[in-house]
Amino acid sequence: KAGVTQTPRYLIKTRGQQVTLSCSPISGHRSVSWYQQTPGQGLQFLFEYFSETQRNKGNFPGRFSGRQFSNSRSEMNVSTLELGDSALYLCASSSAGAETQYFGPGTRLLVL
């Protein structure tokens, strides 16, 4: 089975711009979670989608949003980028009823 894929792998943006990141889960997995990883804060939970519905949300401002499509692929969007949004954005998928999550390679975002 192919693993979780994320595109793009690297991205450079400037303050004020917006960005969309994409995640394709493992085939058959219907739950997709997003995390932000920074050296200072570690891995922080952004949100989780299951069957196109946001089921859980972390403590991030409304500039961070996401969605999930009927094929379980997910996108997250960050509007009005700030320097502090520079991070590795990780997507993880899991099958229904499973507690373990499998991570993709991440998208490294640099905001200048």
Determine the interface stretch with another protein among 14-22, 59-67, 74-82, 97-105 (rule: CB under 8 A): 97-105
Binding residue count for another protein, defined by CB under 8 A: 24
CB of 102 to another protein, least distance (A): 6
* Residue 31 Cα to chain centre, angstroms: 12
> Is residue 56 near another protein by the rule CB under 8 A?
yes
> Is residue 13 near another protein by the rule CB under 8 A?
no
Q: Pick the binder of another protein from 16, 17, 28, 55 (CB under 8 A).
A: 55
CB of 35 to another protein, least distance (A): 8
